[in-house]
Amino acid sequence: MTNDHPLIQVKNLDLYFGAFHALRNVSVDFHAGELVGLVGDNGAGKTTLIRVLCGIHAPTSGEVFFDGRKVEKFHPKLAIDQGIETIQQSVGLCDNLSIARNFYLGREPVKRILGIPFLDFALMREKSARVIRQFGLRDNVSTDDEVERLSGGERQSVKIGRAVEFKNRVVIMDEPTNHLSVREREHVNELAVQLKEQGLLVIYITHDIFQVHKLADRIVIMENGAKVADASTDAMTAEELEEVIRQGGRVVEKRETA
């Protein structure tokens, strides 16, 4: 299922915020077509690691390789251009804009009239509607409606649809099912698997080891800014992994995947 050559390779990453050591010598590989669960308690460094991958923080030391090439500059725009999409619970959609405008924000399709780039409204509406409907947007919601009218699950649908539309290579889902109803949670989890099956790398961040164990090919556990376990879901059960988290990574030996 996975390629030999990792899509994202993190090597000996350290990150300090002032005196605070947020990431401690983290090394981890991620492959295309893989769904990796990134698990750990609050403050374990999951989100910080992700923020490095999507260009928000630059590491203090260590290297990140994307598709074999070393990442020299860390900027959200560069990460997006390379096809790394982060789906966060609270960030990503502007409440004051319509679904179609949000869908294309930052990458708006234009029609040039006298050389001036005007938004291509017809294309924005038609394409965003087509993509998001397949991810479960209700029929009575128009893409002209503002996103603040959407439910939590529908917001996730917009973000996931956007990741698919822009042919992303990596989709990072940061606690994607928080505050969602049971049915919406199932729906979002199905979408994560769907994305993986389309050949994308999906990194799924959560507290809930049992939930992600069912979906993921591999689980990476972080604790106090360090990676404490990295095991395929075939190699370790959810209960075993939970024990690792409970013990703060001290008890169970790491069982690396091949």
Partner 1 sequence: MKHLVRSQGIGAVIGVAVMLAVFTLLDFSGWWTVQTVSNVTQFASILAFVTMGEALVIMTKEIDLSVGSVYGLAGVSFITLEPPLGVSGSLLVALLIAALAGLVQGVAVVKGQLPSMIVTLGGLFTARGIIYVWTGGSVHNFSPDARAHPLTRLLGGELFGIEAATFWLIAIAALLGLLLWATPFGNRLLATGGGRESAESRGVRTERVKIVTFVLCSLLAGFAGILTLCNQPQTHVTLGENMELEAISAAVIGGCLLTGGRGSILGAILGALIVVSFRYELIALGAPSSWYITFVGVVLVAAVIFNQSLARRLGHSV
Report, in Å, the least distance between residue 91 CB and partner 1: 5
101 binds partner 1 (CB under 8 A): yes
The residue (of 104 and 204) whose beta carbon lies closer to partner 1 is 104
Dihedral sign, Cα of residue 196, residue 238, residue 188, residue 58:
negative
Pairing of strands 84-88, 170-174: parallel
In this structure, what token pair is assigned to residue 233?
């879901």
# of chain residues touching partner 1 (CB under 8 A)? 31
Closest CA to 172 of 250, 101, 92, 116: 92
Ranges of H-type helices in the chain: 46-53, 76-81, 99-103, 121-133, 152-165, 182-197, 209-215, 238-246
Q: Distance (Å, rounded) from C-alpha 251 to C-alpha 258?
A: 21
The residue (of 153 and 249) whose beta carbon lies closer to partner 1 is 153
2 binds partner 1 (CB under 8 A): no
96 binds partner 1 (CB under 8 A): yes
93 binds partner 1 (CB under 8 A): yes
Binds partner 1 (CB under 8 A): choice among 12, 118, 186, 254:
118
Closest CA to 13 of 66, 67, 42, 52: 52
Binds partner 1 (CB under 8 A): choice among 5, 110, 138, 181:
110
Report, in Å, the least distance between residue 48 CB and partner 1: 16
Report, in Å, the least distance between residue 257 CB and partner 1: 31
127 binds partner 1 (CB under 8 A): no
Binds partner 1 (CB under 8 A): choice among 4, 19, 42, 106:
106
Closest CA to 111 of 124, 120, 101, 121: 120
What track of x and - describes contact with partner 1 for positions 176 through 215 (by CB under 8 A)?
A: ----------------------------------------
95 binds partner 1 (CB under 8 A): yes
Q: Distance (Å, rounded) from C-alpha 152 to C-alpha 178?
A: 9
Phi, psi of 37 (to 5 degrees): -90, 125
Q: Are the C-beta atoms of 170 and 203 separated by less than 8 Å?
A: yes
Binds partner 1 (CB under 8 A): choice among 148, 186, 190, 197:
148
Closest CA to 216 of 226, 201, 198: 201
Report, in Å, the least distance between residue 190 CB and partner 1: 24
Q: Which residues bind partner 1 (CB under 8 A)?
A: 54, 76-77, 80-81, 86, 88, 91-97, 101-102, 104-108, 110, 116-119, 121, 144, 146, 148-149
